[in-house]
Structure 1
Amino acid sequence: MGVHTKNELVIALDDYSKTPKYLQLANTIVHAIEDGLLAVGDKLPSVNRLLIEHDISRDTVVRAYDLLKKEQAIESVPGKGYYVKSKQEGKRPRILLLFNKLSGHKKLIYDAFTETLGDGASINFYIYNNDFNLFKRIIQNGLNKDYTHFVLISHFLEGGEHALDVIRTIPPEKLVILDKKVEGITGEFAAIYQDFEHDIYHSLSELRENLSRYQRLKLIFPDYTYHPRSIKDGFLKFCAEYAFSNQLVSDIGADTIEKGDAFINLMEDDLVTLIKRSRKLGLRIGQDVGIISYNETPLKEILLDGITTVSTDFTLLGKTAAECIRGGRGIHRANPFHIKVRNSL
């Protein structure tokens, strides 16, 4: 498979990766040049050969080759094909990026991470949908490849108690942990994380005057969730210290909503349900019922004239992760957490 040079070039495209196939193809060729599998003047596989062998579209191959031409890595000779034009000096970071899901705020992390790294790195991006077994399989497969870094977020619906065993198989100097701190890892790895218990406790403390207008403080925390239990711990610690009547709500679709309730929601679907049910009951958001929502998004700034949010700085998290790749080995940093007070509280 691939073009025959002094070594055999293998082009493997991963259907499970969220990285577009044209980028996977371009990165594979760049890696081959960096590793000496392709030399200046070597001929690349033809467009027709690649689309037949790998069941991909002509546009995919053309986009990959056009990108490599733009980067001055290859050139095209009319009537003959594509050839390696220049030797790649040094190796670009080769990154396995692994997220539990892709949401609005996860996209902020991804965009900041990729923008900060620019063209100086190749990234293979995967989503494991909070599924531990898929998380494990992606990492195990990645260990057989030549990644320089594994950048991952570890949130699971179940099976997460075994995550440490899987993460420990990654060489610590290649590991960057994002969003949720993982205890028990040793060595010179990097971590940029949310301090979930500390963040919710201190946010509620700062909002204490606003919350004092309500009779009950309720955290919507489903029984089956990937969210860290430390959020619940910080909530209960605040309520105990400041004597707030409180309740943990597992299902906002079934729980009673009354005048004087202030809610903290973690999931966007729960926010929608809470707003719809409050309106149906004739309760005014920000007066009869208060809402604090996790994770800032542009929509929450305008929804109902503004939803109060508590949120980490996702853009900064992505940028800091990129800085770890560019030489910040061993960084351990709690990411900043912010409050936006709006009309819902």
Structure 2
Amino acid sequence: MSYNLKTGDVTEWEITLDDYSKTPKYRQLVNSISHAIEDGLLRVGDKLPSVNRLLIEHDISRVTVVRAYDLLKKKEVIESVPGKGYYVKLREEGRRPRILLLFNKLSAHKKLIYDAFSRTLGEEASIYFYVYNNDFNLFKNIIQTSLGKDYTHYVLISHFLEGGENALDVIGQIPPEKLVILDKQIEGISGELASIYQDFERDIYCALTEMRDKLSSYQRLKLIFPDDTYHPVTIKDGFLRFCAEYAFNGCVVSDIATGDIRAGDAFINLMEDDLVTLIKRSKELKLKIGEEVGIISYNETLLKEVLLNGITTVSTDFGLLGQTAAECILHGRKERIANPFHVKFRNSL
């Protein structure tokens, strides 16, 4: 509820904060007030709840409320009247992006996507950020709960440990014009939508082709592909196609903790835990990495630049992926765009 300083009218509206959202509480508070103004629930001159009232009613810190109000003041959306409180200063014009952003997990790579996405959109966009930890049922619940909340866009990464065969039924409930699919294509969705994706089979095939001369010094090429991974099976398909076409002795290893490691092996790992295990076991076997054993690691990170004097990586450009997704939203583009994939040669190969 708010009181209009100019007219004396009382306005009914409600601040909504979500304890399960990864979006910081101060940003949720900014979004809630901005949307109330945008939707006409708050008008110029309406008084906002006091800092003390908000921290008591919503169990948040004073710092959170003050930070939100200071940001709204900086944007000249609200103003403070000494001795009286905070009031709506102006009505925001236009339809600001209100985005549900749904990631399968948190990682250094996902942070690159998020940072580029948020930076490109700018402060005028409201991002509601959730993580479903590769759990299809949680993914389904978040989507279905969100359908009545007037989001302008749904930006989704869909990777599941199990249950993903039903993902299309859930995603199909979202209007395609509001959809932005990231990282992995979802086949079967009708209508025009934006999709910025990795072409997993083609990417690994082309990357290995680029590395063919270096790989030729190894006797065996091994892809570490755990049985319970969420990574697309098309990575395995691209790997096996490369081995068949170029006559490499290739095989798939499901568990590097027990798999055979010998001099002359070159490994491709997808998971960070498997990289650690591979390095540890190679050292225990006194095999020199980069000479007797080769390592190619999926997904570029700063740590891999320095670990063991450099780990060779194959990786999509995560920052560009987030930036392109934001640009599709800002410019209303409905395109399917393959994100660039790069090889970084270092001393591990």
Question: Does the aligned pair in 1 maintain the 2:177–2:192 contact within 8 Å?
Answer: yes
Q: Tell whether 2:110 aligns with 1:106.
A: yes
SS state at 2:243 partner = helix
Aligned partner (choices 298, 301, 321) of residue 302 of structure 2: 298
* Letter matched to residue 16 of structure 1: Y
Matched AA of 1:78: P
Match of residue 192, structure 2, among 165, 188, 193: 188
Give the deviation of 1:194 after TM superposition.
0.1
Equivalent in the alignment of 1:279: 283
1:204 maps to 208
Q: CA shift at 1:207, angstroms? A: 0.7
Equivalent-residue separation in structure 2 for 1:262 and 1:333 (angstroms): 31
Counterpart of 2:237 in structure 1: which amino acid? Answer: D
Q: Partner of 2:25 in structure 1?
A: 21
Aligned partners of 2:2 and 2:11 also within 8 Å: no
Counterpart-to-counterpart distance in 1, 2:307 and 2:344? 13
SS at match of 1:119: coil
- Quick one: which amino acid aligns to residue 150 of structure 1? Y
Q: Percent identity?
A: 76
What residue is the counterpart of 1:242 in the other structure? 246
For residue 104 of structure 1, what is the amino acid of its counterpart? Answer: A
Q: Which amino acid aligns with 2:2?
A: V
**Paired residues for 1:6-155 under 5 Å:** 7-155=11-159
Q: Does the residue aligned with 2:2 lie in a helix, a strand or coil?
A: coil
> Which structure 1 residue ranges, 5 or more long, are not aligned?
none
Whether the 8 Å contact between 1:278 and 1:284 is mirrored in structure 2 is yes
Asked whether the 8 Å contact 1:188–1:329 carries over to 2, the reply is no
Q: Distance in 1 between matches of 2:10 and 2:336?
A: 43
- SS of the counterpart of 1:217? strand
Within the alignment, does 1:166 sit opposite 2:170 as a pair? yes
Give, in whole Å, the separation in 2 of the partners of 1:191 and 1:13. 29
Contact kept? 1:100, 1:128, Cα under 8 Å: yes
Structure 2 counterpart of 1:133, which letter? Answer: N
Deviations 1:206-242 (A, max 9, x none): 1111111111110000000100000000011111111
Assess if the C-alpha contact under 8 Å between 1:75 and 1:85 holds in 2.
Answer: yes
Q: Distance in 2 between matches of 1:14 and 1:297?
A: 31
Q: Is the 8 A contact 1:173 1:329 kept in 2?
A: no
2:6 is matched with none
With the length of structure 1 as denominator, give the TM-score of the two structures.
Answer: 0.98
Q: Contact (CA 8 Å) 1:252, 1:274: kept in 2 or not?
A: yes
Structure 2 gaps of 5+ residues are: 4-8
Following TM superposition, by how much is the alpha carbon of 1:302 offset from its aligned partner in structure 2, in angstroms? 1.1
Native 8 Å contact 1:263 1:292 kept in 2: yes
Task: Give the conservation status (yes or no) of the 8 Å contact 1:105–1:297.
Answer: yes
1:137, CA displacement in angstroms? 0.8
- CA shift in 2, pair 1:6/1:230, >3 Å: farther
Residues 230 and 125 of structure 1: CA distance in aligned 2, closer, same or farther (over 3 Å): same
Tell me the TM-score normalised to structure 2 length: 0.97
Equivalents in 2 of 1:142, 1:46: separation in Å?
A: 29
* Counterpart Cα distance in 2 of 1:141 and 1:3: 28
Output the CA distance in 2 between the equivalents of 1:303 and 1:59.
39
Give 1:88 deviation, angstroms: 0.7
Distance in 2 separating the partners of 1:334 and 1:120 = 27
After TM superposition, give the deviation of residue 333 of structure 1 in Å: 0.5
> Over residues 176-216 of structure 1, what are the superposed CA-to-partner deviations in whole Å (9 max), with x where a residue is unaligned?
00000000011111000000000001111111111111111
Q: Is 1:340 aligned to residue 344 of structure 2? A: yes
Per-residue CA deviations over 1:11-40 (Å, capped at 9, x if unaligned) read 111111100011101110000111110000
Measured against aligned partners, the alpha-carbon deviations of 1:263-290 in whole angstroms (never above 9, x if no partner) come to 0000111111101110111000010000
CA distances 1:128-172 after superposition (whole Å, capped 9, x unpaired): 100001111111111110110000100000000011111110000
In the other structure, the counterpart of 2:314 is 310
CA distance in 2, matches of 1:236, 1:214: 16
- Helix, strand or coil: the match of 2:325? helix
Partner SS, residue 122 of structure 2: helix
CA contact (8 A) 1:130 1:157 kept: yes
CA distance in structure 1 between the aligned counterparts of 2:311 and 2:63, rounded to whole angstroms: 43
CA RMSD of aligned residues (A): 1.0
1:323 pairs with one of 315, 324, 327: 327
> Shift in Å at residue 7 of structure 1?
4.9
Per the alignment, in what secondary structure is the counterpart of residue 248 of structure 1? strand
